[in-house]
Amino acid sequence: MATRYQANQLLTTNDSEPSLKDIIEKRNIKFITHYETSKLKYPTVEQIQRFTIINHIWKFNDRYWKLSSTYYGDPKYWWVIAWYNKKPIEASLQLGDKLYIPTPLSEVLEAIT
């Protein structure tokens, strides 16, 4: 099953970024290697129609990772719920807000990656 960090995801070596110059010098290293930013696409209308959407009302003590654990069986897919609802952080939500939990997870991941 796909995750945000794919084994085949491209690595980037960064030795010329001005903001990293101090870090590179302080750590006495030549460069910093990191993953490239994943590019996710929002599912098409046709793909969304194939999903089963579970409605969830945001309540006290809810957390994305808890919802992911409940609906997907794994807390590491919290970002799917946040991204699908276009609410990147929990601070974007208020008590009583409606969230949409797209399922099944395998189809959702296939559609967005």
* pTM exceeds 0.75 for this model: no
* Higher pLDDT pick, 2 / 109: 109
* Per-residue pLDDT tens digits for 69-112: 999 999 999 999 999 999 999 999 999 999 999 999 999 999 98
Backbone angles phi, psi at 90, to 5 degrees: -65, -25
* Per-residue pLDDT tens digits for 29-45: 877 776 777 777 888 89
Q: Residues 11, 36: contact at Cβ < 8 Å?
A: yes
3-state DSSP percent of the chain in helix, strand and coil, to 5: 40, 20, 40
d(CA 73, CA 15): 40
